[in-house]
Every structure is written in structure tokens, then in C-alpha cells.
Amino acid sequence: MKTVLRLLATASAVAFASSAAMAAGELNVYNWGNYTSPEMIKKFEEKFDVKVNLDGYDSNEAMLAKVKAGDTGYDIVVPGDYMIKVMIGEGLLEEVKPNEMENFKNVDPNWVDVWWDPGRNYSIPYQWGTTSFTVDTAIYDGDIDTLALLFDPPEVLKGRINMLNDMNDVINAGLRYLGYGRCNGNQDELREVLALLSKAKPHWRTMDYAVIEKLTSKDVDISQSWNGAAMRARAQRPTLKYAYPKEGFTGWMDNVAVLKGAPNLDNAKLFINFMMDPENAGLTSNFARYANGILGSDKFMEPEMLSAPEIVMPASAPAPDFVTPCPQEVVDLYNKIWTQLKQ
């Protein structure tokens, strides 16, 4: 009997070890859709003999909802700045200490002590950009660097505006136009924001995330936009110009992080280190059309990326404003404003 038990134990141990060895050859990446360079993934697969499985999401909130539901099997996620802070707070990320890895020396020091992950114990830069708006200068040739174009538009742009269908992006732009602070719980100021948005809404044609399509189909002539999307739209409509409004605009960074309980933890760590290699960061930027936070990656980027006005900010532009997650009371107020606006 004893020998049988021992045999069984050995057999199961062998089975276990072999399945573990098989699993060592995989990595499950959960990233925003159409945002991962196939070339970069191929390079990682060949270098480490690991099979990468890719899955996509379209908002931080959708990703969070799925991860919170548990047992996703994903190793890598790429949350935006505020979402990194939320997920660290909720205990959903593994503390993989990228700051002790070999390639960490390549991370731009400006992106190390960030408020969402001070010192970078959990995450590394993936891509960063800005959220502002882009205008067809053949239609409107005045000064474009003001949010008045969205909230108090000149005659030619009335009814030709697309806003992002995003509560935070729209309300934050309104707060900036009125000169009020973000994550604002001040009721008098929010009342003014609601009045401003309600007054501007008849001039908006659509509220939609599909920025590139709305602009290139000429459904609209001005659209709230991320800088990379603006660059991709400009490729098909060359008179588009990305604005850096004097009232301010949003900055954001997406970050590579490892989920707690990742089934392929070792490969996930390899991937984190791999993504801090300038060449791989450059491949990602060439695909997604945003800047990354890795020093030396410009050597591997397409020349037009290095001079694109969507990426290289003019000296006169205000610094991008990285918006922290708002407390629940403020989110509740924003929700009410948003519902009121869209009822």
C-alpha cells in the first residue's frame, strides 16, 4: 500500500512539474484594444520562447470590472494612471519591484516618482499622451488654442463638434474653461459647469469615442481627441491641427503592471523588464502613435513621430494636467450632472 501511495505521489508530482513547465511557456496580456505592437510581441515570443495570448478592453472601468470579478487568468494589465492607484489600493496588483530590474535605468526619471506609483514598485511606463481637441484649420482659421471652440464655438463650427462620450473628459474640460479645480465638490461651481455644458450641447453634433472615424468621414470638423488619435486622423485629413488650449488639457499615462496571483509570474517579470528596453518601447510607440517614458527609445522610432506636433508640445503650451481619481461623493455629483446633461 505504501509503495502504491508513494508511486501515486511521485506520479502526481511529475505531472504537476510538467504542467508547471508547460505554463512557464505562456504569458496572458490584457491590454487596450488595438494598442499592442504585433512586432514587439513577436520579438518577445522568440526571445524567451513564450507564447503570448492577447486580449483587449476599451476602458479602465471595463478592465477593473473584469479583474475584480476574479480568476481571469491574465498576467499583465495596462491600466491608466489613476487606475493604477485604484488597483494598488484594492490589492489587485503584484508588487514586482520593477525599480530593482536591470532595464529600470532606461526609465525617464520624470516618470519614476509619479503620484500613482511613487518610486515605481508596481508598474512601468507604457505610453503617455494628452487629451485635448483637434480642429480642421481649413474650416476655422482663427486661434485654436482655447476651449472656447468647444463651449462657445464660432459660427462655422456650430453643429460640427464631436465631444468624447466620457464623463470625466467633458466635465474636466468644462471645469478648466471656467477656471475651476478638478475633482471638484464645490456645488456652486458645478452648477455653473452644468449650465455651461447645457448651453454648449446644442452646438455639439455627436458624443462619441470614435474620434478618427468622425473626423475622417467629415461628420465633424472639430473633435475632442487623444493626441495619438489626432495624429492618425491627420494622416487622412491633413488640415487638422491639434490644439494646446491655454486653459489646460489632460495628460495621462498607461502603465504595464502585473496582476496579483498571475499564473505566469516569472514570464510577467521578464515582460516588464523587456518593455523597459528602448527598442521595444520604440516598437510600441511606432504602432500606437504615442510617446513612451523610456530614454533612448527615440533611436528606434519613425522620424515623423519625433517631429509630430501632436507629440512634441510647443514651449508656450501649459503643462499637461494629470487628473487624480475623484472621491465617490464627487463621482456621484459628476454622474448627476452627466445624466442631467444627457437626459
Partner 1 sequence: MSGREPQTALAAAIEQNRRNERVTRAWLLAPALTIILAISILPLGITVVYSFLTPGTYGGVTWEFSTDSYVQFLFQRDIFDDSLVFNSAYVSIFLRSIGLALGATLGALILGFPTAYFIATKPREQRNIWLFLITLPFWTNLLIRTYAMLLIIRDEGIINIMLMKAGIISSPLTILYTDTAVFIGLIYSFLPFMVLPIYASLEKLDFSLVEAGYDLYANRLKVLFHVIVPLAKPGIVAGCILVFIPGLGAYITPELLGGGKKLMIGNMIAMQFGASRNWPFGSAAALILMALVILVLLANALAARRGASNNG
Closest distance to partner 1 from the beta carbon of 293 (Å): 25
From 45, 94, 108, 208, residue interacting with partner 1 (rule: CB under 8 A): 208
Whole-number Å distance between alpha carbons of 226 and 210: 11
Q: How many residues bind partner 1 (CB under 8 A)?
A: 38
Buried (b) or exposed (e) across 22-44, using 16+ Cβ within 10 A?
eeeeebbbbbbeebbbeebbebb
Torsion of CA 279, 285, 286, 290, to 10 degrees: -160
Residue 24 contacts partner 1 per CB under 8 A: no
A 10 A CB-CB count for 336 gives: 12
Whole-number Å distance between alpha carbons of 294 and 280: 10
By C-beta, is 6 or 68 nearer to partner 1? 68
From 207, 265, 270, 317, residue interacting with partner 1 (rule: CB under 8 A): 207
Closest Cα to residue 123, out of 113, 132, 131?
A: 113
Give 134's strand partners: 223, 242
By C-beta, is 47 or 68 nearer to partner 1? 68
Whole-number Å distance between alpha carbons of 108 and 292: 9
DSSP 8-state secondary structure symbol assigned to residue 210: -
By C-beta, is 170 or 272 nearer to partner 1? 170
Q: Are 67 and 77 in contact (CB under 8 A)?
A: yes
From 205, 241, 269, 289, residue interacting with partner 1 (rule: CB under 8 A): 205
Which region, judged by CB under 8 A, interacts with partner 1, from 7-15, 24-32, 33-41, 186-194? 186-194
Residue 54 contacts partner 1 per CB under 8 A: no
By C-beta, is 135 or 275 nearer to partner 1? 135
A 10 A CB-CB count for 263 gives: 15
Closest Cα to residue 137, out of 151, 154, 159, 116?
A: 154
From 68, 113, 181, 239, residue interacting with partner 1 (rule: CB under 8 A): 68
By C-beta, is 100 or 155 nearer to partner 1? 155
Window 219 to 248, contacts with partner 1 (CB under 8 A): 219
Residue 51 contacts partner 1 per CB under 8 A: no
From 10, 236, 324, 340, residue interacting with partner 1 (rule: CB under 8 A): 340
Residue 42 contacts partner 1 per CB under 8 A: no
Closest Cα to residue 320, out of 241, 214, 224, 247?
A: 247
Closest distance to partner 1 from the beta carbon of 236 (Å): 14
Residue 86 contacts partner 1 per CB under 8 A: yes
Long-range contacts of 48-54 (CB under 8 A, 24+ apart): 48/267, 48/270, 48/274, 49/25, 50/24, 50/25, 50/26, 50/267, 50/270, 51/25, 51/26, 51/27, 52/26, 52/27, 52/28, 53/26, 53/27, 53/28, 53/29, 54/29
Residue span 142-181 as binding mask against partner 1, x where in contact by CB under 8 A, dash where not = -----------------x-----xxxx-------------
Whole-number Å distance between alpha carbons of 172 and 164: 12
Which region, judged by CB under 8 A, interacts with partner 1, from 6-14, 212-220, 223-231, 305-313? 212-220
CA–centroid distance for 87 within its chain:
15
Residue 216 contacts partner 1 per CB under 8 A: no
Residue 291 contacts partner 1 per CB under 8 A: no
Residue 65 contacts partner 1 per CB under 8 A: yes
Which region, judged by CB under 8 A, interacts with partner 1, from 121-129, 190-198, 296-304, 307-315? 190-198
The residue ranges that bind partner 1 (CB under 8 A) are 59, 61-62, 64-65, 68, 86, 90, 159, 165-168, 187-188, 190-191, 194, 201, 204-208, 217-219, 328, 331, 333, 335-340, 342-343
